Structure 1
């Protein structure tokens, strides 16, 4: 992702272009961007995942108790620790959340908006992320403009135009109404990608609860097929948390371009459980040998 960096690491990298390129097979254009999730809101976690080689890290400010100041630290820790090789993305609670402004001003590369059900809501989300130069209503933050550091732009452009061009807006589809409106949502100017919100969509569809690895409800697989069709019609990439969905095959993964493989929380749980089980097994073997 280094080649998509803006002139300053305090500015959003060109995630819009990176997303577009996933839809253009060919040399130098990866078909998938690999990511993970920060849900433990500490810079140690952000700094660690930022140097592991992921293309992006999604900071979950929707389901994690993150304050504005800490959110800024997490975003900039990812950008600076990875030297621009890993793009910070943030999921905010809503287009009305005060955290959105702080995420944008910190130089986040993309914003994920949950619970978008209509094209009108999607248009509002886009507007919140764009300055008036791009027909949006984002507010200018003079306190974050350091001359020669955070306001760098190509000749004839400006830091505001860089932000408008580079920042990706990702709309989460996670209700039957959103599925019904997915074509119209994808057609909204400024929407750069769609994300399958598997957990909430499964609940909204009244599908049975499932654990990681359980078979998937056919209604969810039908929803995936519908989203893939929308993606192809509008040439918009799709995002998904891969461990949240399990079909009879993994062929559906080829049609999703932003893959969030796990989270720091899931990895901690998995690692600790495996280590505990392994030590319990080892001790049982040791005691067995003594007997």
Structure 2
């Protein structure tokens, strides 16, 4: 079993193994290949906030498979067509925005499952090995492999988070601290209302035996969240990592060359 994709990833996630991923914001295959090669566990292709379409997502999911890294897609919304599209392309799982009620959680799970849901069937896709998998094989493999993560990022979702995460088929929660900060009308990171909401979500997830994924702002932040109960961490994005590396590289070379002793030209 490939432990960084498919059923292997889902098993590791639900068992609360410590996992590391990053958002993909640029619609190319290269970042997923690089991240897979250095040992990241997963990437999240961000269809909600970045310029992806079905074709670019399809290519990146192929690159994820080639690189042995789980390809999770943050879909544009919780509607079934958005979910079906990426699952057929071979996504390891979905990160679904604004799952703010039990009814919406049940609808999301139904869109992801064949035997117990309403996912539209086709085995002539990458997910179905382009027809190699029989109907029964495809249904069984996909229902076991697809990871379903509900994004809790609305104040009213926090109020009923235990009930949302108790829905059978919701594999875990992602805490959207950025959206919660804006929704609570706070000015920046670290607001007490957001910290309280984060703690409430983690507590509810632990109570019902579900893992928590979260975007960590620093190593110290990740350590604190891990001690509280979070287990899957998104570390920046491909753009963020490139920007950070570019700043550090430019500063390093600039300082090195600026400190070089200048040899005066011959007069």
Residue 223 (structure 1) aligned to one of 197, 208, 215: 197
Distance in 2, matches of 1:36 and 1:252, equals: 17
In structure 2, what is the equivalent of residue 137 of structure 1?
118
In structure 1, what is the equivalent of residue 105 of structure 2?
122
Superposed, 1:259-270 pairs within 5 Å as 259-270=233-244
TM-fit CA distance, 1:69? 1.2
Give the TM-score, by structure 1 length.
Answer: 0.82
Distance in 2, matches of 1:39 and 1:100, equals: 19
Distance in 2, matches of 1:209 and 1:245, equals: 19
Deviation sequence 1:143-177 (CA, Å, 0-9, x none) = 32798776447xx9521121012211100011111
TM-fit CA distance, 1:284? 2.2
1:242 correspondence with 2:225: no
Distance of aligned partners of 1:269 and 1:186 in 2 relative to their CA distance in 1, 3 Å threshold: same
Deviation sequence 1:110-161 (CA, Å, 0-9, x none) = 1000111111111111111111x11x111112432798776447xx952112
Match of 1:164, SS state, is helix
Contact kept, 8 Å, 1:13 with 1:87, in 2: the verdict is no
TM-fit CA distance, 1:19? 2.0
Contact kept, 8 Å, 1:39 with 1:60, in 2: the verdict is yes
1:59 correspondence with 2:32: no
Gaps of 5+ in 2: none
Gaps of 5+ in 1: 6-11, 23-30, 211-215
Distance in 2, matches of 1:75 and 1:55, equals: 14
Match of 2:259, SS state, is helix
Match of 1:88, SS state, is strand
Match of 1:138, SS state, is coil
Distance in 2, matches of 1:222 and 1:283, equals: 48
Contact kept, 8 Å, 1:198 with 1:244, in 2: the verdict is no
Distance of aligned partners of 1:60 and 1:244 in 2 relative to their CA distance in 1, 3 Å threshold: farther
